[in-house]
Each structure stands twice: as C-alpha cells, then as structure tokens.
Chains A and B, each alone.
Chain A
C-alpha cells in the first residue's frame, strides 16, 4: 500500500476534501494550507504502515494533519503566536448569545482565518475537534488558563465580527 500509487490516489480522492478543509481552517492563508496539506499527506502515506486499525482511518489521518498544522504554526510562533497576556476585557466577559442568522460558510471560514494564530488554533481544537482545555494545553504546550483565555478572546472577536454583519444588514 505504501508504494501503491493507485491505492494512495483512492485515499486521496476520498479524504482530501475534508482534510483540505481542515488545513484551510487552521492556516491563515491558502498557500500555507496547501503546503501543509501536501506535507501531511506525504507523511500519512509514508507512515501508513503504522496504522493499527484502532479507530477510524479518517480519524488517524486527521490526527496527522492536525499535528502537522500545529507543528507548522509552532514554527511561526516567533512571529505572532501565543500571546499570553491577561486581558480582563475579554477574559471575563460573558459570552453573548447571538440571534441565529444564516451566514455563509465562506464568511465563517474568513472569520476563523482572520483570528490570530493562537486563538484560531485553540478555537479550532475546542470547537471542531472537541478537545478539552487540558488536552489543548498539553498539545500546544500552554497552560490550561491560557487555552481558556484564548478561546474566550477568539469567541469575542468572532462575536464582534458577526455582530458587525448583523448591524450592517440592519442598517
């Protein structure tokens, strides 16, 4: 299978949309997403022999991709990653409930990608991967408090963006 190009293509065809979608959600720009997507697929094919049939194959692939994404983001850490400053304005603000309104996926993706790297990563892991703060903290090598704080700030930013659309539409 490892060198079975036909089999690899089948896997690629089957899982690439979901996995590419994940890459788009984690990376700020599309070029970076493409790079990680390629690299992660190469790793997946190279390590395919390590798959132990424990859990789903898609889950296994997702883990590889998420790890690769985090690794790539960590490399960028020096630029803008993981600001861990306490901000009472956002850290302790209660989450406001928003009126349900249809928002296109493109827009939502844009909002997510506009988040700072750290907030986006925590948000993705918490909301989409259903990870707990403790797990996120371990994965990103940050404190649990930082993870919570980052999530709150991410939500706060997203909330503002959504409200701005709503206000724009209302106006």
Chain B
C-alpha cells in the first residue's frame, strides 16, 4: 500500500470549507451598522480627566491650607509716623481700649508676656512688609516684659490711634475686601479678630512686623477680616469643560470599493467565479478535484482579462453571481472552476497538483508582499507599544523663576532667579500617541530683589539686638537686620541704612501628573508635548541678604500647586535608552499667602529615559 506523510493525509483539509451558521451574517450586519467606537474621544476625555485631577487635587489642598493660614495671622500695631511697625499679638483689650498709648503698650506687653509664660519663649516673628509684603521672620529668646516696654516706650513714633492697622494676611489678589475708615476697621477688628488673635496665641505663631510706606495704605491694609472671609467664597476652581469632542471619525466612504473601482481597473482581474456542482457533503471539500480559486484568479489575471465576477460594476457582479450557483444557496459543496474563455487552461491546471502548489505559493507570495509588509509594520509598531509601555527617566536641569506681573518687594522689582532642579519620572504609554506620567522632582522657586535697604542692628546702637529684635538668622545670631522699603528709607534719612541683595528661595518636592502626546515619532527621534498639574511640598524656605541667611519667608504655603507645560525631544541612543531635552514652563499658583513672589518658571531639563 502506498505510504503517505502526515501532510499528504491532511492535504484534503487544505481547501476545507464549511458553511457558517446563517445567524452569523445577521450579527456581522449588526456590527457593521454600529458606529465605530471613537477611541479618540475616550482619549480626550481621559486626558481631560487627568488634567482636571491634577488641578483639583492641589486645589483641595490649597483650600485646606489657606483656611489654616488665615487663623495664624495676628493683628499689628502700627506707628504711622515713622512707618515702623511692630506687630504684636493682641487681644481684645488692645484693640478696644486703644485710647491710651501707655495702656496700649501695656496691653501689648501683656500679650507678649502671655506668650512668654506659656511657651517660655516669645515668638516674635518680626517681618518687614511694604503694604502686603512680609519678608522675614525670626525668633527671639525670652524677651521680658521689661524689655518690651523699653523697646516700646522710647519709640518716639509710637503714638497710638493714628493708625492702628491689622495686617492684611489674606490673599493679596483678592480685591473684594471692603475699604473702610480706621474706626470701622478697629471696630471690625475688635469684634472679629478676637478668635484670630486667640488662635494666634494658641498656635504661638509670630507677630508680624510691618512697615507701610504711606499712612493711607493702612486703611487699605486693614482688610484682615474682610479678606479672610472673602477668601473662601471668592476662590473658585475653574473646571474647564473640555466638552465632548465632536466625533469626527465618521467612517470615510471609500471610493475604492471593489465593485466601483473595477470599472476603472477592469483589467486587474479579481475574478472570482465559482460554479458549484458535485456531491453534497457536510464540509464542502474541494479536495483534489478542483483548482483553488486563487490559482484560477492568478491565471486569469495573467492571461485572460475577460473574467467574470467583480467585473467593474455591481450589476455585472450580480449577474455573475446569479449565473453561478452560490455555494450557499445551492448548498452544493464540491467546487470547481470553470473558465469561460479558457476552459482548456483550467483543465490542464486541474491535472497538475504540483503546479497547483507552486502556483499557490507564488500566489501567496504575490498577495503577501504588500500586505505582509504592512502587517509587519503594524506588528512592529504594536510590538513597541506592548513591550515598551513603561518608561523611567532621570533628569536634571536649570530653572529660572520669573516675575511676569512686575511685582515689587520693599519697593523694588522682583528679579528672576536661577536654580537647579532634578528628579525621576515614570511614564505609561496608553498607545502610540498618548501617555500619562508622574514622578518626583526637587525644584526651587525663588526671586532676587536688588537694592533692598536695611539697617543692621550690629552697626546701630539704637537697634541693638536686645532692644529691637527685627530679624535674626539662625546661623548668624548676632546679626540682626531691619529691612525697610524705599519710601521708609527716604523718610529715615539715616546714614546707617545700607542696601543689599535679597534672595528668597522656596524649595519643593513636587509630584506632577502629566498627559503626554507624541506629535512626532520617526526613526529614533520623537517629540512629545506634555501638560498637567503638580503638587509641591515645601521642604526648604530661606531668605538671604547679601549671601547671609536671615530667616525664612513668612506665610509660605506648605503645599503648593500649579500647572506645567513642557515639550520633550528624545533621541534613542541605545535599544531602549533615550536621551532627552525638555524645555518646560511651570506656573505656581500659591507659593506665598500674603506676599508677591515669582510664580512663573522656565525650565530646561536634560535626562535619560529607559523604557521597558
């Protein structure tokens, strides 16, 4: 008996066919009728959601933080003559009975004393402020009532009631405060500031030294309650409605329909005519009795352009279909191919199995070549997507904090300040175009103020450290400074006034949440556009005067939030390793509560990216 290999035994299955259950066509029709799911819309929504989340999270933190901060602020007594302000912890009496200067001083002293007793340390955070600007704070040790009295008493300008103002500790941007006269301010302050004063004592927060360049500003500054009250309602988070992107991915109706386009390319035969005949069997086996359609088609394409089926117009197709008995409708299974014009050719082919195989192979190759390339390309792309969804990057760079609003501190313009930043970030690719990312970054926001006037207690017998504790630095306990504004400087006309450069720094550890879109991706290079929000936790807070640390920025928020926009230019240097340059813009929404501070930052990061 003739022996066969497995392939030979199964060769009858080569053209195996089976009639699908009739309900399948209905299901296919249903799927075809359904509008294609719009991935793009989903992506937009996910991007919008990420962005919203990025902004919402810090907003919540901000509101929580700001409500705490307002409770920490204390009222201040201000001398209107010499513009020096010593902010003290005040109680009700100091505000209500503010008629007698000595009594006022006593009250102030009492409040200080109260602090001293409770904490055994007088927390006098002395700061200098122009209008709404507080600059520096310091802690002085164990000041006694006597000393305070000394300090307060000889102060020639400590005439009460001319202007007693409470520091505006609310948001400087909030303009919804009610302007009122000194009296009404006092009244309001008396009534409403009580809990604040108490809370200030309880929390043992600083009293604020404040200087105002003009008396008129006192009135404006006396917005403590109004601002703090108006703060919350007036702040709102704008939820950008990204809206549902219009569905633009309506399926294009192709002008290259097979039937239609055949009229143009009638010589390109896609001849697919089948005339079924033969025995009925369950599996419509063609076995060795017939040629494969593809062979037939190729032959026709090569030699005979007068083929049937799919000849240009649908009418001809229909007629062909009608003429040929459909395998389904006729329910006949064995198939054969009849070529109208070249019956001989078909017959000769049907006799040669080997030729069939060869033709099949050629045909497959012919079909595969363009298709295969495309498929391979797609697969390659998909492969990249699947395999390299995650990426981790380390980066470091420089950043420059900018004063975009031309704001001033102590009467001088805030200048930009350069700093360094570094961190790690991870990115998850949703698909070829979109990715989401997060990470940790150490970044510094700062500003530099040139020509700041100050009086050094060291060089001034009048402002001895014991008698006038304005500012002292932890690393320079003997050096104490009084920062004054330009207008005050003119008023003082003192020879002891010096000028220097004030550097303010706020260092954060930030966690961004970004959405990234690949706008260019070719060969080894790619360009991504990233946007999102970030939350930052304050880790370092310093104020330097001519290079010497003099304390901390007051009312710096522990949590800061903002938005970021960056562009990443990447180049693949090794298999999964890329180097990148990333210019970025950051906007910090709330670095300080009651002081102008650079909020905008340019950045340029360099880094290494590894995908896996």
A interface residues with partner B (beta carbon < 8 Å): 1-18, 20-22, 24-25, 34, 37-39, 41-42, 45-46, 48-60, 62-63, 67, 95, 97-100, 103, 105-106, 108-109, 112, 127-131, 138, 141, 155, 158-159, 162
Complex contact B363–A5 (CB within 8 A): no
* Chain A residues closer than 8 Å to B258, beta-carbon distance: 1, 7, 11, 48, 51, 57
**B279-320, CB under 8 A of A: which get 1 and which 0?**
001111100000001100110010000000110001001100
Complex contact B25–A12 (CB within 8 A): yes
Complex contact B9–A56 (CB within 8 A): no
Given A48-B254, A108-B12, A16–B20 Cβ distance below 8 Å?
Answer: yes
Given A56-B363, A99-B3, A108-B9, A49–B254 Cβ distance below 8 Å?
Answer: yes
* Chain B residues closer than 8 Å to A129, beta-carbon distance: 364
Contact of B326 among A14, A39, A67 (CB under 8 A): A14
Given A25-B13, A53-B270, A105-B16, A1–B254 Cβ distance below 8 Å?
Answer: yes
**In the complex, which residues 366-397 of chain B have their Cβ closer than 8 Å to any Cβ of chain A?**
366-372, 375-376, 383
Complex contact A54–B366 (CB within 8 A): yes
Complex contact A34–B297 (CB within 8 A): no
Which are the 7 A-B pairs with shortest beta-carbon distances?
A: A1-B257, A49-B254, A55-B367, A59-B367, A17-B17, A97-B3, A21-B17
Count chain B residues whose beta carbon lies closer than 8 angstroms to a beta carbon of A: 80
Q: How far is the CB of A66 from chain B (nearest CB, A)?
A: 10
Contact of B297 among A56, A63, A130, A155 (CB under 8 A): A56
Q: How far is the CB of A112 from chain B (nearest CB, A)?
A: 7
Complex contact B298–A56 (CB within 8 A): yes
Mostly, the B contact residues are: helix
Complex contact A67–B375 (CB within 8 A): yes
* Chain A residues closer than 8 Å to B237, beta-carbon distance: none
Contact of A13 among B256, B282, B293, B329 (CB under 8 A): B329
B interface residues with partner A (beta carbon < 8 Å): 1-21, 24-25, 27-29, 31-32, 36, 251-261, 265, 268, 270, 272, 274, 281-285, 293-294, 297-298, 301, 309-310, 314, 317-318, 321, 326-329, 357, 360-361, 363-364, 366-372, 375-376, 383
* Chain B residues closer than 8 Å to A38, beta-carbon distance: 24, 27-28, 31
Complex contact B366–A13 (CB within 8 A): no
In whole angstroms, how far apart are the Cα atoms of A63 and B7 in the complex? 22
Complex contact A49–B256 (CB within 8 A): yes
Complex contact B17–A20 (CB within 8 A): yes
Complex contact A95–B6 (CB within 8 A): yes
Question: Considering only CB atoms, which chain A residue lies closest to B285 in the complex?
Answer: A105
Contact of B4 among A11, A46, A97 (CB under 8 A): A97
Question: Considering only CB atoms, which chain A residue lies closest to B295 in the complex?
Answer: A56
Contact of B363 among A17, A59, A158 (CB under 8 A): A59
Q: How far is the CB of B257 from chain A (nearest CB, A)?
A: 2
Complex contact B25–A9 (CB within 8 A): yes
In whole angstroms, how far apart are the Cα atoms of A22 and B18 in the complex? 9
A-B contact pairs, 10 of them (CB 8 A): A2-B254, A7-B258, A20-B24, A55-B370, A56-B270, A57-B258, A62-B367, A100-B1, A100-B8, A108-B10
Complex contact A99–B4 (CB within 8 A): yes
Given A56-B298, A58-B294, A105-B12, A20–B18 Cβ distance below 8 Å?
Answer: yes
* Chain A residues closer than 8 Å to B251, beta-carbon distance: 2-3, 46
In whole angstroms, how far apart are the Cα atoms of A16 and B23 in the complex? 13
In whole angstroms, how far apart are the Cα atoms of A108 and B11 in the complex? 10
Complex contact A17–B18 (CB within 8 A): yes
Complex contact A13–B253 (CB within 8 A): no
Complex contact A130–B327 (CB within 8 A): no
* Chain B residues closer than 8 Å to A3, beta-carbon distance: 251, 253
Q: How far is the CB of B367 from chain A (nearest CB, A)?
A: 3
Given A5-B29, A53-B265, A58–B1 Cβ distance below 8 Å?
Answer: no
* Chain B residues closer than 8 Å to A60, beta-carbon distance: 367, 371
Complex contact A59–B364 (CB within 8 A): yes
Complex contact B19–A17 (CB within 8 A): yes
* Chain B residues closer than 8 Å to A13, beta-carbon distance: 321, 326-329
Given contact pairs A55-B366, A56-B272, enumerate 13 new A-B contacts (beta carbons under 8 Å).
A1-B256, A16-B328, A21-B18, A38-B31, A46-B32, A48-B258, A59-B364, A63-B367, A63-B372, A67-B375, A109-B13, A109-B16, A141-B383
Choose among A25, A37, A49, A109 the residue with the greatest number of B CB atoms under 10 Å from its CB. Answer: A49
In whole angstroms, how far apart are the Cα atoms of A99 and B259 in the complex? 48
Question: Considering only CB atoms, which chain A residue lies closest to B15 in the complex?
Answer: A18
In whole angstroms, how far apart are the Cα atoms of A44 and B534 in the complex? 45
Complex contact A10–B24 (CB within 8 A): no
Complex contact B24–A54 (CB within 8 A): no
Complex contact B371–A100 (CB within 8 A): no
Q: How far is the CB of A92 from chain B (nearest CB, A)?
A: 16
* Chain A residues closer than 8 Å to B367, beta-carbon distance: 54-56, 59-60, 62-63
Complex contact A54–B363 (CB within 8 A): no
In whole angstroms, how far apart are the Cα atoms of A129 and B268 in the complex? 24
Complex contact A105–B257 (CB within 8 A): no
Q: How far is the CB of A117 from chain B (nearest CB, A)?
A: 17
Complex contact A100–B272 (CB within 8 A): no
* Chain A residues closer than 8 Å to B268, beta-carbon distance: 53
Contact of A10 among B9, B318, B357, B371 (CB under 8 A): B318
Complex contact A49–B327 (CB within 8 A): no
Q: How far is the CB of B454 from chain A (nearest CB, A)?
A: 70
Complex contact B363–A14 (CB within 8 A): no
* Chain A residues closer than 8 Å to B274, beta-carbon distance: 14
Q: How far is the CB of A40 from chain B (nearest CB, A)?
A: 10
Complex contact B283–A106 (CB within 8 A): yes
* Chain A residues closer than 8 Å to B9, beta-carbon distance: 98, 100, 103, 108, 162
Q: How far is the CB of B332 from chain A (nearest CB, A)?
A: 11
In whole angstroms, how far apart are the Cα atoms of A148 and B253 in the complex? 44
Complex contact B370–A52 (CB within 8 A): yes
In whole angstroms, how far apart are the Cα atoms of A48 and B16 in the complex? 24
* Chain A residues closer than 8 Å to B252, beta-carbon distance: 49
In whole angstroms, how far apart are the Cα atoms of A62 and B360 in the complex? 13
* Chain B residues closer than 8 Å to A97, beta-carbon distance: 3-5
* Chain B residues closer than 8 Å to A99, beta-carbon distance: 1-4
Complex contact B257–A4 (CB within 8 A): yes
Contact of B20 among A8, A9, A20, A105 (CB under 8 A): A20
